[in-house]
């Protein structure tokens, strides 16, 4: 019974933190690029069953973690940007680096797709009817 209580409390706390967007100090929202993760939220109070996608770092600066929260959206500087994303669902965990050119005034979404034993990630323009993938290889 205690384990069940901890499960629901953890899911509630992570859900509350994930609802706010990360914004680096000194960055005005009108000068920023909006980036959000495409997380599944279909299981209501059973949040541990949802497929969560988090932004863990932006340009090498850690923004997410157990103590400072897990962010599903962020305001970032325009320009060539490298982000670390993490997928979590129960005991399934996957982390990747994505790199893309963030253009001022545009919004981007991080997508995921589970295929057998792997999870693929990519960045695309939000509300782009062509669903153009915009990410580049990391480390180049």
What's the pLDDT tens digit per position in 78-130?
999 999 998 877 777 888 999 999 999 899 999 888 887 788 888 988 877 66
pLDDT digits (tens, 9 = 90+) for 38-90: 876 554 565 555 678 889 999 999 997 777 778 999 999 999 999 999 887 77
Which carries the bigger pLDDT value, residue 60 or residue 140? 60
Contact 113, 104 (CB under 8 A): no
Rounded Cα distance, 87 and 82, in Å? 17
pLDDT digits (tens, 9 = 90+) for 12-36: 444 444 458 898 889 888 899 999 9
What DSSP letter does each residue of 83-105 carry, written as one string? EEEEEEETTEEEEEEEEEEEPTT
Question: What pLDDT is recorded for position 18?
Answer: 46
Please name the residue that has the structure tokens 């409390």: 9
């Amino acid at each position: 019974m205690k384990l069940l209580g901890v499960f629901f409390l953890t899911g509630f706390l992570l859900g509350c933190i994930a609802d706010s967007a990360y914004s680096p100090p000194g960055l005005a929202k009108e000068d920023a690029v909006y980036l959000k993760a495409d997380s599944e939220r279909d299981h209501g109070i059973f949040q541990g069953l949802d497929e969560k996608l988090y932004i863990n770092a932006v340009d090498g600066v850690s923004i997410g973690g157990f103590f400072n929260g897990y962010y599903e959206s962020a305001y970032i500087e325009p320009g060539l940007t490298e982000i670390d994303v993490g997928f979590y669902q129960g005991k399934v965990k996957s982390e990747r680096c994505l790199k893309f050119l963030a253009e001022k005034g545009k919004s981007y979404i991080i997508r995921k797709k589970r295929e057998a034993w792997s999870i693929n990630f990519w960045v695309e323009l939000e509300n782009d009817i062509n669903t153009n993938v915009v990410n580049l290889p990391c480390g180049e």
